[in-house]
Amino acid sequence: MKQDPFDIIANGRVLLPDGETAAVDLRIQQGLIVEIAPRLKGKKTLDAAGDYVLPGFVDLHCHGMGFCSLEKGSLAEWAALEAQQGATRFFPTLFGPPENLIELMQQHLRETDQLKATPQVGGFRLESPYLAQTGAGRGEDLAPILPELTDRLLIAGGGHIRIWDLSPELPGAVETIARLSGQGVVCSLAHTRATIEQARAAVDAGLRLVTHLFDTFAVPEMIDPGVYPAGLVDYLLVEDRVTCEIIADGTHVHPLLVEKALRCKGPKGVAFVTDSNYGAGLPPGDYRLPAGWGEARIRDRNNGVRLIARGLVLAGSALTPLNCFQNAVQLFGKSLAVASRLCSANPARLLGLNAGEVALGRNADLVMLDADLNLKTTIVAGRGVFGVYE
Ligand SMILES: [Zn+2]
């Protein structure tokens, strides 16, 4: 954005880290929040006019929005769509054969000058290839864990791979998790039929995230009739070292299970994600999606993106980061403070971002929402990227 950044955001109802909203103004310098107090004066003021001022949303798992993804369109176009949906940081997620991942990461790093041109992009996430099962993907998207392939992917990512999905039961998983975690890559347990012991070994090695809990997890079999079986999901729900991400549309995960996860993990142990596909953010209708996805139907934003030629099977969510936040409050009945943790503070903390809460020294990555939680403005490092900010 070309215009000068704001130095004051005034007249907002600001959500503070204690979970309360307060009538305070924010002073911003060099992209950081440097003062929080009533009636501040500065050079360029943004009048929030009584709207909520909240931390911007952080989406850890997303494959596309509108007609944009890593396969189609530019990261800059995708980031502009994310800004319209309140995301101040997102992690474009790759799923495909290893050679495609390498090519796509290199292409986007070239186009964005190593992501410097797209500050909303926190880095890449690799969902394939180190998975035991594909979920909605294809066999050619998967590969055995090999140190040489790990090296090639890391080099292609140029230090920008921030999240890496793995199935703990694959040979070499534990060593790879230890190696990647040691380099600051967040490893995520994904698409797996691992035993509880295999999963615990992965957590011991440094794994700290769970990919779309409940989706792609098997229901444990009753082996001893009359004895209720404990499975992998039960372990993850009580393992305090991992954050569980949940696709927050109420369709991928029933609201009862969302509530169960929140009660087990506490409000700090869950992150809402979109796992959005092409089509996310579009109004209800039938769409021809690019990259071989064919015709898809969106009934409403909480019903997913569904493939018409394949019996309306789910092919990812139609959610946007704003929808996740709205659902946290309006569908799952959580307070603004809890919703903000799920959509901002928890994912930011896990990725080590200086963001996710409105506090001194944090990035001025903010959203403004009206009383009905409609998005008015998105601000990244003090600069308006969407909305009324002149
Ligand atoms: Zn995904």
Three-class secondary structure of residue 369 per DSSP? strand
Closest CA to 292 of 69, 92, 62, 76: 69
Distance from Cα 70 to the centre of ligand 1, integer Å: 13
Cα–Cα distance for residue pair 339/116, rounded to 1 Å: 30
Give the Cα separation of 71 and 85 in Å (integer): 21
Q: What's the CA-to-centroid distance between 348 and ligand 1, angstroms?
A: 19
Question: Could you tell me the pLDDT band of residue 390, with boundaries at 50, 70 and 90?
Answer: low
Residue 211 burial by Cβ neighbours in a 10 Å radius (0-12, 13-18, 19+)? buried
pLDDT of 335 strictly over 80:
yes
Residue 110, judged by CB atoms within 10 A of its CB (0-12, 13-18, 19+), counts as exposed
Q: Strand order of the sheet with strand 32-37?
A: 32-37, 25-29, 8-10, 45-47
- Asked if 244 and 213 count as a contact pair (C-beta separation under 8 A), the reply is yes
With a cut of 80, say whether residue 291 has pLDDT above it. no
Q: pLDDT for 202-235, tens place per residue?
A: 999 999 999 999 999 999 999 999 999 999 999 9
pLDDT at 2 over 80: no
C-alpha to C-alpha distances, 376 to 68, 85, 250, 356, nearest whole angstrom: 22, 10, 25, 18
| pLDDT score of 136 | 63
Instruction: Give the model's confidence band at 150: pLDDT under 50 very low, under 70 low, under 90 confident, else very high.
Output: very high
Dist. CA 14 → ligand 1 center (Å): 32
How many angstroms separate the alpha carbon of residue 171 from the centre of ligand 1? 22
CA of 98 to the centre of ligand 1 (A): 15
Percent of the chain with pLDDT over 70: 98
- Residue 178 vs residues 136, 174, 200: alpha-carbon distances, Å: 28, 6, 13
Which long-range contacts link 23-27 to residues 24+ away (Cβ below 8 Å)? Answer: 26/53, 26/358, 26/364, 26/366
Return residues with CB closer than 5 A to ligand 1 (ion). Answer: 127, 275
Q: How remote is the CA of residue 126 from the centroid of ligand 1, in Å?
A: 9
Cα of 274 from ligand 1 centre, angstroms: 9
Rg (CA), the chain: 21
Summary mean pLDDT of the chain? 95
Q: Contact at 8 Å (CB) between 318 and 327?
A: no
Conformation bin of residue 372: beta by default, left when phi > 0, alpha when psi is -120 to 50: alpha
pLDDT at 15: 98
132 has a pLDDT exceeding 50: yes
Ligand 1 centroid to Cα of residue 63, in Å, is 6
Output the CA 131–ligand 1 centroid distance in Å.
12
pLDDT band at 389 (very low <50, low <70, confident <90, very high): low
Q: Average pLDDT in the 285-306 region?
A: 92
Tell me what pLDDT residue 292 has.
80
- Measure 354 CA to ligand 1 centroid, in angstroms: 25
**How far apart are the CA of 227 and the centre of ligand 1, in A?**
34
Tens-place pLDDT, residues 234-265: 999 999 999 999 999 999 999 999 999 999 99
CA-to-CA distance for 41 and 1, rounded, in angstroms? 23
Distance from the CA of 286 to the center of ligand 1, in angstroms? 22
Measure 267 CA to ligand 1 centroid, in angstroms.
23
Domains and CATH numbers, the chain: 1-56+355-390 (2.30.40.10), 58-354 (3.20.20.140)
Tokens 């394939």 belong to residue: 128
Distance 52 CA to ligand 1 centre (A): 30
Confidence of residue 5 (pLDDT cuts 50, 70, 90): confident
Q: Phi and psi dihedrals of 93, rounded to 5?
A: -110, 130
- pLDDT tens digits, 29-87: 999 999 999 999 999 999 999 999 999 999 999 999 999 999 999 999 999 999 999 99
- The torsion defined by the Cα of 86, 92, 96 and 102, in degrees rounded to 10, comes to 160
| Distance from residue 147's CA to the centre of ligand 1 (Å) | 23
Average pLDDT over residues 121-132: 97
Instruction: Report how far ligand 1's centroid is from the alpha carbon of 360 (Å).
Output: 34
pLDDT of residue 1: 45
* Whole-prediction pTM: 0.96
Calculate how far, in angstroms, residue 5's C-alpha sits from the geometric centre of ligand 1: 34
The Å distance, Cα 290 to ligand 1 centre, comes to 17
Residue 194 C-alpha to ligand 1 middle, in angstroms? 19
Pairing state between β 45-47 and 8-10: parallel
Rounded-to-integer distance, Cα 103 and Cα 98, Å: 9
